Amino acid sequence: MSGLVYTSSASGKAAGETKPAPVIRLERIHKIYRMGDIEVHALRSVSLEISRGEFVAIMGPSGSGKSTMMNIIGCLDRPTKGQYFLEGVDVSTVDKAGLADIRNKHVGFVFQSFNLVPRTSALENVELPLIYAGVGSAERLRRARAALGEVGLSDRERNMPNQLSGGQQQRVALARALVNNPSLILADEPTGALDTRTSVEVMGIFQRLNRERNLTVVVVTHEPDIAQYADRIIQFRDGRIHRDTPVQSRKDAKEVLQQQPVEEDEDDL
């Protein structure tokens, strides 16, 4: 990230003082998509702070701006107006190459459709971000194996995506998101294509990583049940934050799975 300017946080405190800078800080972010004559105002002055180790669920109707915000947070896209600080660095003005660099170092992505590379083994899929990061082959193999181990898939490393169940494919995608050791995991409807039990298993992996590694996790979901595994729910409406509330009695995926008989699938959660 050479060439980037570190700015002090809004509180004016230098690093090392009591309150750490938030991992994510959005300041009056706007996003306007222009298609010919038509303008879509997808985000309208969104301001938001997310601290290290928080587990946030993003909810809201279709078209309310959730993915647009995730793309900006994940440095896949830039805001039209407003400032975005990631780890205290103002990334709103960074160019495309700079964004890719920041993304590689700090962010792991998980999508609804898994986005694995077909005809490429689980292990090779997980190695990909390390190839982009220029990591040598021995180290790559070691880290990809460790990441697959973290999601409980050590015995499937040679399988191609089409030789894995949906839940397993999503766990490979999770391993791929983790392999660069990001400080932030962004997941856009990660359980949208999964059945209930598999969804809870995936949320369980997020919860474990959040607790054990203090990883910051932001998950978009349409399912109120899934949002209850987070510790904070942010509701979007019409490109704005409509509500931002803590989860009162957070669900524990491990407990939910233990209470559920293995044979039963969908209905009982």
Ligand X SMILES: Nc1ncnc2c1ncn2[C@@H]1O[C@H](COP(=O)(O)OP(=O)(O)OP(=O)(O)O)[C@@H](O)[C@H]1O
**DSSP codes of every residue in 61-74:** -TTSSHHHHHHHHT
Phi, psi of 14 (to 5 degrees): -80, 160
Closer residue to Mg ion (CB): 65 or 182: 65
42 touching ligand X, by CB under 6 A: yes
56 binds, among ligand X, Mg ion, none (CB under 5 to 8 A by kind): none
33 interface partner picked from ligand X, Mg ion, none, CB below 5 to 8 A per type? ligand X
If one asks whether residue 64 binds Mg ion (CB under 5 A), the answer comes out as no
Residue 35 engages ligand X in binding (rule: CB under 6 A)? yes
Least CB distance from residue 3 to ligand X, whole Å?
28
42, 110, 114, 200 from 225: Cα distances, Å: 26, 19, 21, 10
Q: Give how many residues touch ligand X by CB under 6 A.
A: 12
* Beta carbon of residue 65, minimum distance to ligand X (angstroms, whole number): 4
Specify the residue, 124 or 238, whose C-beta has the smaller distance to ligand X. Answer: 238
Judged by CB under 6 A, the residue of 22, 27, 65, 108 near ligand X is: 65
Q: Does the protein bind ligand X through residue 36 (CB under 6 A)?
A: no
Rounded least distance, CB 236 to ligand X, Å: 6
- Per-residue x/- marks for ligand X, 100-119, CB under 6 A? --------------------
Q: Are 234 and 54 in contact (CB under 8 A)?
A: no
Q: Is 47 helix (H, G, I), strand (E, B) or coil?
A: strand
Q: Which residues contact 120 (CB under 8 A, 6 or more apart)?
A: 160, 161
Spatial neighbors of 119 by CB under 8 A, at least 6 apart, are 160
Closer to ligand X by Cβ: residue 42 or 200: 42
Q: Which stretch binds ligand X (CB under 6 A): 63-71, 82-90, 92-100, 190-198?
A: 63-71
User: Residue from 2, 18, 62, 162 that binds ligand X (CB under 6 A)?
Assistant: 62
Residues 6 or more apart in contact with residue 13 via CB below 8 angstroms: 19, 21
Using an 8 Å Cβ cutoff, are 77 and 96 in contact?
no
Q: Is 31 exposed, middle or buried (0-12, 13-18, 19+ CB in 10 A)?
A: buried
**CA–CA dist 166, 153 (Å, integer):** 13
Check binding of 224 to ligand X (CB under 6 A): no
Which of ligand X, Mg ion, none lies near 224, with the C-beta cut-off 5 to 8 A by kind? none
Q: Which of 6, 8, 33, 137 binds ligand X (CB under 6 A)?
A: 33
Q: How far apart are CA 129 and CA 2, in angstroms?
A: 20
Segment 136 to 155, residues that bind ligand X, using CB under 6 A:
none
CB 105 within 8 A of CB 152: no
From the list 62-70, 130-138, 191-199, 242-250, the region that binds Mg ion by CB under 5 A is 62-70
- Enumerate binding residues for Mg ion (CB under 5 A): 67
